[in-house]
A and B are shown apart, each in its own frame.
Chain A
Amino acid sequence: MISAIHPLLVRGWSSRAPLAAAFLAALAILSPASKAQTAATPASSKTAAPAHKHPAADPAPSAPVKTIGNHTAPITMEVFSDYQCPSCGNFYETTLRSMIQDYVASGKVYLVHHDFPLQMHNYSGQAARWANAAAMVGQFPEVDAALFDNQAKWTADGDLEKYVATGLSPANFKRVQAILKGCTGPAPTSKVDHTLPQPEAGCPVDPYIIQDIVLGTQVPVQATPTFVIHYKGQSYPASSGFITWPILKQFFDTLLSQ
């Protein structure tokens, strides 16, 4: 399952992949939701169409596609992010937004989002649930933007639902709400002691969040945002913190000129 979803990442940290693959295989067997969605994942990740243009009217929710852009783009950038972390919000608003409008839109970069909700943040796990549910109905970019755009507001009042609704049509919002119907308990987050969180039975998005946390632990993600850039099958060392778009763009241009 892991290699089907994240072939580039697994190639980058192949030495630790068997352990994670074993864990995720066990998780997939235990989780009825992920069992049903495993078959749909490779197809959605291999589609040539940009993820944000997936039809929103899919009859049944599929595995979350938390990507923006064309997967055939020469550069892939994987971002491990926490929706409640201020640096992540700043990074999205000032760097990723420009990147999406410029290099993702022009097919140079394929952006892959991974959830890495931190234990210290009250609502980041729940925000990740909303993002994953939206990604199941092909609305990830919209909810991703809505969450970061309103980060200060929902961090203050905890009312995620209100702000997620601003990024979706009423019909899609209802579908997302339906997916999260069984998610009533605490959302999974990464732990300070590196133990893995348990998915809530009946919450179909939790296994995907935990899967991202496992991947992040392999990198290893020590702070958010952390991002890994891949080019021509090679993975470059992970970087953490806020980077401005001109400097990130310069790195992309250096890679593309090789």
Chain B
Amino acid sequence: MTANETRGPLARTLLILGRLALAAIFLFAAYAKLKPQAAMRWSGSSIKTSLSLFAMQVDSYQLLPPQMVSPAAHFLPPFELFLGLWLFSGVLLRYASLTTTLLLSAFFAVMVRTYTAGLEINCGCFGPGERLGPLTLLRDGSLLALALAVTIGAFMLRRKRRHESAPVAGVSAPQRAD
């Protein structure tokens, strides 16, 4: 067995693990923002309350005008849920991981800007109560690095599969989803 042959399955395994880790993190982030607060039960009202609470965390970043805060707060958790499920499914992984990388880049840039501006606020990354600080920056920076690695891996794997499945002597290869 050549080095290339052993590296292939290992890279695929790492890609699957990275993808599942990102999926779990995004699903948990969405859950933490949507879960009922203060002894409420899951209901439309509890989700509305949780999203209003999250809107206050978005507002504390002092980045968006008040009229944009609420739409952003109502969009982000469902989008994180969607992204988590998309990553978990593995369908069109290149695009799922690229979207994840872009979203995490935006989060990280906003967090760095807020921290360097000296604002002492809650991160809001995984629900309420976590202060934005060096540890949250380190964590989100690591997540961004993971998302970037998965994105690069997904694109490289796709390219490799294309090469492998390139028609040889007039024989056409089956098409893949990703």
Is B57 part of the contact surface with A, judged by Cβ < 8 Å?
yes
Question: Given the complex of chains A and B, what is the CA–CA distance between A61 and B62 in angstroms?
Answer: 41
Contact B38 A239 (CB under 8 A): no
Contact B122 A251 (CB under 8 A): no
Question: Given the complex of chains A and B, what is the CA–CA distance between A111 and B174 in angstroms?
Answer: 68
- A169 contacts across to B, CB distance below 8 A: none
Contact B131 A242 (CB under 8 A): no
CB interface residues, B 77-116, toward A, < 8 Å:
none
Which of B4-12, B46-54, B134-142, B148-156 is the contact stretch?
Answer: B46-54
- Given A238-B129, A250-B52, A250-B70, are A243 and B39 also a contact pair (CB < 8 Å)? no
Contact A237 B129 (CB under 8 A): yes
- Given A223-B131, A231-B38, A235-B38, are A241 and B52 also a contact pair (CB < 8 Å)? no
Contact A242 B38 (CB under 8 A): no
* Interface size counted on chain A using CB atoms at 8 A: 25
B16-39 Cβ-contact flags toward A at 8 Å (1 or 0): 000000000000000000000111
A220-250 Cβ-contact flags toward B at 8 Å (1 or 0): 0011100000010011111111111011101
Question: Given the complex of chains A and B, what is the CA–CA distance between A246 and B131 in angstroms?
Answer: 23
Contact A239 B57 (CB under 8 A): yes
Closest to B57 in A: A239
Is A30 part of the contact surface with B, judged by Cβ < 8 Å?
no
- A101 contacts across to B, CB distance below 8 A: none
Contact A247 B56 (CB under 8 A): yes
* Interface size counted on chain B using CB atoms at 8 A: 27
Is A258 part of the contact surface with B, judged by Cβ < 8 Å?
yes
- Given A222-B120, A250-B55, are A241 and B60 also a contact pair (CB < 8 Å)? yes
Contact A258 B49 (CB under 8 A): yes
Contact A247 B70 (CB under 8 A): yes
Question: Given the complex of chains A and B, what is the CA–CA distance between A94 and B36 in angstroms?
Answer: 29
- B119 contacts across to A, CB distance below 8 A: 87, 241-242
Contact B120 A240 (CB under 8 A): yes
Contact A237 B60 (CB under 8 A): no
- B165 contacts across to A, CB distance below 8 A: none
Is A195 part of the contact surface with B, judged by Cβ < 8 Å?
no
- A243 contacts across to B, CB distance below 8 A: 56, 59-60
Contact B56 A239 (CB under 8 A): yes
Contact A223 B121 (CB under 8 A): yes
CB interface residues, A 41-93, toward B, < 8 Å:
87
Contact A258 B38 (CB under 8 A): no
Question: Given the complex of chains A and B, what is the CA–CA distance between A189 and B132 in angstroms?
Answer: 23
Taking a contact as CB atoms closer than 8 A, the residue among A240, A246, A255, A258 that contacts B122 in the complex is: A240
Is A15 part of the contact surface with B, judged by Cβ < 8 Å?
no
- A236 contacts across to B, CB distance below 8 A: 37-38, 53, 128
- B38 contacts across to A, CB distance below 8 A: 231, 234-236
- Given A231-B38, A239-B128, A242-B60, are A251 and B53 also a contact pair (CB < 8 Å)? yes
Is B66 part of the contact surface with A, judged by Cβ < 8 Å?
yes
> Nearest Cβ in chain B — how far from A186, in angstroms?
24
Closest to B121 in A: A241
Contact A239 B60 (CB under 8 A): yes
- B60 contacts across to A, CB distance below 8 A: 239-243
Question: Given the complex of chains A and B, what is the CA–CA distance between A240 and B53 in angstroms?
Answer: 12
Known pairs A234-B40, A241-B122, A244-B59; list 9 more (Cβ under 8 Å): A236-B37, A240-B131, A241-B120, A243-B60, A247-B56, A250-B70, A254-B49, A258-B45, A258-B49
Binding site for B on A (CB under 8 A): 87, 222-224, 231, 234-244, 246-248, 250-251, 254-255, 257-258
- The 9 lowest CB-CB distance pairs between A and B, nearest first, are A223-B120, A241-B121, A234-B38, A237-B128, A241-B60, A254-B52, A247-B59, A251-B52, A246-B66
12 A-B contact pairs sorted by A residue (CB < 8 Å): A87-B120, A223-B131, A234-B38, A236-B38, A237-B53, A238-B129, A241-B122, A243-B59, A243-B60, A251-B56, A255-B49, A258-B45
